[in-house]
Structure 1
């Protein structure tokens, strides 16, 4: 974290998960900036003892997804419209109470942002979203 904070890089997304090889963890960090700043970040990361491999992946070379959960205040007479939105976004309802729904979706950032924007006026109570998961296109490992 200090590698990013000291240099003023803003971290947009951070995901830590087990790697395919269970002796390692996989850390995906998404930052915004110019390509020269990516090179600087990679040099700093590769100097760290615990880092085995660090790489930059242009958005055209990867598939990325996020997951989000939305809690919406929804009385029974409001649910039909919300269910239509859920269907259009290929999301799913994972919890229903007498006053609320919890909706789950996965997709790229634009899809999740769009769903949030539609649910907001309907009574969005809370939302939580994962960081980006990425995988390189083709056979080469990420």
Structure 2
């Protein structure tokens, strides 16, 4: 089962390495990983998607709690959470087909961030299914390059 872990850690060098090393040493694969400073510059939030059964998940969280630099672990898997990813699509776009690609981007509320002689670069945010749908449509035009961030997640306001 996929687990979405939101981990509040110290914003210091080596913390990311210790957290990911602990997870990988136990034989679990991290499918997605993002980390960035929070509203408090001394802290970072690490969001990891880990595939593990219940026993494995419990082992991961117990070991994470033992790390001095970990302050809080939240499992957002079964919560009503907001989840997003960012993707950049570089699509082959000869002048006579550009309008079609721009229309697709508009339908998905994506932004054109770069225009080349024969390509468009499109920026999109959303959940995994939205980005996969866009990828499928853009492949028909010739997907030159695709870059995706890891998933970020946050519990909804109803939990405040």
Q: TM-score, normalised by structure 1?
A: 0.92
Q: How many residues align?
A: 141
Distance 1:136 1:36 in 2: 24
- Between the aligned partners of 2:110 and 2:148, the Cα distance in structure 1 is 14
Gaps of 5+ in 1: none
Please tell me whether residue 118 in structure 1 is matched to residue 127 in structure 2.
Answer: no
After superposition, the Cα gap between the structure-2 partners of 1:118 and 1:32, relative to the gap in structure 1 and judged at 3 Å, is same
Distance (whole Å) between structure 2 residues aligned to residue 37 and residue 88 of structure 1 = 41
**In 2, Cα distance between equivalents of 1:125 and 1:14:** 24
Structure 1 segments, 4+ long, off by >3 Å, are none
Secondary structure, aligned partner of 1:118? helix
Higher-strand-fraction structure: 2
d(CA) in 2 for partners of 1:48 and 1:7?
Answer: 15
After TM superposition, the structure 1 = structure 2 runs for residues 103-142 of structure 1, keeping only pairs within 5 Å, are 103-138=122-157, 140=159
Asked if the contact 2:79/2:155 (under 8 Å) is kept, the reply is no
> Is residue 89 of structure 2 the alignment partner of residue 70 of structure 1?
yes
Residue 34 of structure 1 aligns with which residue? 53
User: Post-superposition shift, 1:98?
Assistant: 1.1
Q: How much does 1:10 deviate? A: 1.3
Does 2:98 correspond to 1:79? yes
2:121 aligned residue (102, 109, 114): 102
